[in-house]
Amino acid sequence: MKVLIITGGTMGAVQAAKDFAPDLTIAADKGIENALAARIPIDRILGDFDSIDPEALREVRNQHLPETEFPPEKDYTDTELALAMAMDEAGPEGEILILGASGSRLDHTMANVFLLKQPVDRGITCTLQDDHDRILLLKGPTRITIPYDPEWPYVSLLPLFGKAEGVSLQGFYYPLDTITLEPGVSLGVSNQLTEEKGTIHVASGYLLLIRTRD
């Protein structure tokens, strides 16, 4: 199953949501406003509803959508709660797309990137996207092929949660051959494809794949 999550950060990539063609769309708290503004149909809502405009909340409640409400003082962000629901619905080998996960709150943006560990550990493909970046977490051992896309020319690879070992790149301006990428080093930043397709291999560890417009 394909599940779209819309959360409360800076909204973008509306066309990506339409191209994704989700089977289920979950709006988390202020993400409801983002969904309404982008005219993206919502299937479920959740959150503590402490940051959403009351009029927007009334509008979706008038649609009698399935709703899960949480207390404001809780251990998890609304985005993480939405992700938990999305993973259960998507199932193994499912797909999740999250919009509105970045913005002016760096703490929330970083937390949302770190959340990508949960779906990848369950074999679920989960992508964060806005107008400037598409972010995917790889877990070794894995080998993926990505197409050349002039709208997303830059490719950065950053180790997360420790070393990423056995990293190899083919079809890139800066190829790599079975190296270890260490946390805190910028070696993998701002590469580009030189062929129609590029191959990324990771033997072990977690590696952020970030495709960037500018």
Q: What is the pLDDT of residue 14?
A: 85
Do 61 and 13 fall within a single domain? yes
The angle at the Cα of 56, spanning 51 to 58, to the nearest 5 degrees, equals: 110
- Domain tally for the chain? 2
Q: What is the pLDDT of residue 50?
A: 82
Residue 103 zone, left/alpha/beta (φ > 0; ψ -120 to 50; rest): left
- For 11-28, what is the mean pLDDT? 90
Domain containing residue 154: 137-212
Do 168 and 98 fall within a single domain? no
CATH number at residue 147: 3.40.50.10240
Q: Are 180 and 209 in contact (CB under 8 A)?
A: no
Q: What is the pLDDT of residue 49?
A: 87
Do 198 and 150 fall within a single domain? yes
b/e burial code for range 137-161 (CB count within 10 A of at least 16 → b): bbbbeeeeebeeeeebeebbbbbbe
Do 167 and 61 fall within a single domain? no
Model-level pTM?
0.91
CA distance 23 to 128: 17
Q: What is the pLDDT of residue 26?
A: 97
**pLDDT, tens digit, for every residue of 34-75?**
999 999 999 999 998 888 888 899 998 999 999 898 887 777
CA distance 89 to 207: 25
Do 179 and 205 fall within a single domain? yes
